[in-house]
């Protein structure tokens, strides 16, 4: 491990938050018993919030953001991992209260680390990252309520051009689903979304009423919602009897307006999805699916960036103009 190395550091002064690339030492890294030489990280909506004033992600400064990372173990105080082993970390408190992946080195508890499965590269792992892992959990949660590729069901994915939404579409396609509707911001996204597996592309202005009805025409059996806010509120009354909506994001706001009618007259379910604290003992199996049946990384909408380009990526995410996944290349 080098004495000094590069990291993106978020600082606060007089209530204002700023971020910059700095040369730091290991003293700045949070405690942990596994040190990892980071090869890649990824850029998520939460990472963008981490560098904003009042972003609600970081409370203790200075902090190194980056909720995902993949790399090689430099040293380990745990019997589970050894020097030279390739690993990945997503979620828990990485990049929030614990220094994260936007650094040449990371130090984390062994309880947060997953061994990279055979068939998955370090780069592949970050094309998936928290966004893809969340997409997988959303699909698995909906399947637990009856969603199945063997049935003629209408499935809608919101925030389709973003990280979670775009990976969800690919996973649904790979799993054999046929009626995959992508909810997009504008028509310019249609070609890419169709190319990764969407059956068709719907625009929010055509699907969402100006004022949500108590009960609307039934259009979708299952909704994989990434956006929250008014989008989720407008779609809930459009879910078929016995259908479900998974919810994993709040890019459209944290407020959710509804009546009890979709629940008591149509038996609709809302399913919360959290990837941050998902049990570590259950993560291996999901990552192995990405190494096998869900190996969709080569077709993903993904772009590599370096640390100097992060500010621009954050700006695009905040403005809602980004598409797909951005992978931070450290190596």
Q: What domains, with CATH codes, occur in the chain?
A: 5-116+301-329 (3.90.180.10), 131-272 (3.40.50.720)
The least confident of 21-35, 75-89, 207-221 is: 207-221
Query: How sure is the predictor about 38, in pLDDT bands with cuts at 50, 70 and 90?
Result: very high
Kindly state the tokens that stand for 326: 């951005």
311 phi, psi to nearest 5 deg: -60, -40
Distance CA(79)–CA(204), nearest Å, equals 51
Give whole-number Cα distances, 17 to 41, 60, 235, in Å: 22, 11, 36
How distant, in Å, are the alpha carbons of 40, 44, 88, 222 from that of 63? 18, 16, 20, 39
Task: Find the mean pLDDT for residues 289-311.
Answer: 91
Q: What is the pLDDT of residues 77-126, one digit of tens each?
A: 999 999 999 999 999 999 999 999 999 999 999 999 999 999 999 999 99
Q: Is 157 helix (H, G, I), strand (E, B) or coil?
A: strand
**Per-residue pLDDT tens digits for 262-274:** 999 999 999 999 9
- Of 138, 121, 130, nearest to 177 (Cα)? 138
Q: Count of CB atoms within 10 A of residue 148's CB?
A: 13
Q: How far is 181 from 239, CA to CA, in rounded Å?
A: 13
What is the model's pTM? 0.90
What number of residues does the chain have? Answer: 331
**Residues paired with residue 8 on neighbouring β-strands, in sequence order:** 21
Residue 118: partners with Cβ closer than 8 Å, 6 or more residues away: 291
In order, the DSSP letters of 49-112 are: HHTSTT-SS--SSSB---SEEEEEEEEESSTT--TT-EEEEESTTBTTTB--SSBSEEEE-GGG
Percentages helix, strand, coil for the chain, rounded to the nearest 5?
30, 30, 40
CA-to-CA dists, residue 267 to 28, 242, 245, 261, angstroms: 51, 5, 12, 9
């Amino acid at each position: 491990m080098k004495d000094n190395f590069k990291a993106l550091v978020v600082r606060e002064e007089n209530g204002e938050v700023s971020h910059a690339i700095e040369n730091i030492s290991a003293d700045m890294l949070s405690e942990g018993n596994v040190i990892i030489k980071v090869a890649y990280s990824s850029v998520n909506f939460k990472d963008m919030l981490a560098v904003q004033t009042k972003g609600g992600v970081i409370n203790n400064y200075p902090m190194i953001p980056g909720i995902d990372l993949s790399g090689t173990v430099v040293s380990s105080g745990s019997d589970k991992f050894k020097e030279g082993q390739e690993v990945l970390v997503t979620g828990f408190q990485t990049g929030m209260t614990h220094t994260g992946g936007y650094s040449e080195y990371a130090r984390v508890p062994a309880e947060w680390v997953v061994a990279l499965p055979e068939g998955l590269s370090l780069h592949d792992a970050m094309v998936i990252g928290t966004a893809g892992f969340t997409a997988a959990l959303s699909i698995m949660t909906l399947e637990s309520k009856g969603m199945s590729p063997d049935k003629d069901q209408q499935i809608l994915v919101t925030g389709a051009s973003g990280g979670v939404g775009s990976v969800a579409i690919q996973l649904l396609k790979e799993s054999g689903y046929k009626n995959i509707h992508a909810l997009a911001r504008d028509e310019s996204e249609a070609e890419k979304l169709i190319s990764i597996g969407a059956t068709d592309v719907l625009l929010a202005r055509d699907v969402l009423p100006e004022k949500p009805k108590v009960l609307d025409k039934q259009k979708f059996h299952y909704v994989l919602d990434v956006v929250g806010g008014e989008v989720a509120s407008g779609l809930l009354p459009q879910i078929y009897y016995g259908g479900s909506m998974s919810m994993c994001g709040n890019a459209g706001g944290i407020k959710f307006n509804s009546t009890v009618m979709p629940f008591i007259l149509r038996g609709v379910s809302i399913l919360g999805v959290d990837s941050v604290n998902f049990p570590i003992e259950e993560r291996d199996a999901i990552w192995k699916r990405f190494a096998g049946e869900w190996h969709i990384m080569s077709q993903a909408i993904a772009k590599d960036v370096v640390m100097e380009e992060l500010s621009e990526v954050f700006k695009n995410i905040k403005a809602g103009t980004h598409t797909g996944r951005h992978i931070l290349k450290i190596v």
